[in-house]
Amino acid sequence: AEELGDRQVQAINLGNIGLVWQDKGEWDKALEYQEKALKLDRGLGDKQGEAQDLGNIGNTYVKMMPAAGGDSSVAGLPQNDKALALAVKAVPMLAQALAMFLKLGAGDGPEQCRWGLGECLKVMGRDKFVAAYVKAGMADPEAVQMADSLAKQ
């Protein structure tokens, strides 16, 4: 794709390579490839690709939380600062991706974003989650509604 100058296929391949590194738990490499894909998709104006990349980056941060000391699968566990910092990074990525997916009407992207946001809510608690969601550019009532909706899942 690089030799042919097909930047869209390059972006898809970079994102997929990032997901392979994510599955292997190689977080830095996963983020490196996912961020390259995001840069290409933004340059191309590919909103679907951009939403996918943002969601993948956000969920990479989420998947890093258990290794940082925050078992994101169990609500109520005390979380350390590293897990909280990862959740704070993940929320804006996932919030943007979710908004884009909903606008585009795109497949299973919203479900993946909601999963990651739910894991962040468990680590952050309601008040910090709402504050991070608002800081990501979402309206306060929307942030509260999202927190309440995720807490019911």
Task: Mention every residue, 6+ apart, whose C-beta is less than 8 A from residue 89.
Answer: 58, 61
pLDDT digits (tens, 9 = 90+) for 1-44: 777 778 889 999 999 999 999 999 999 999 999 999 999 999 99
pLDDT digits (tens, 9 = 90+) for 41-75: 999 999 999 999 999 999 999 999 887 665 544 44
Mean pLDDT of 112-116: 93
pTM: 0.87
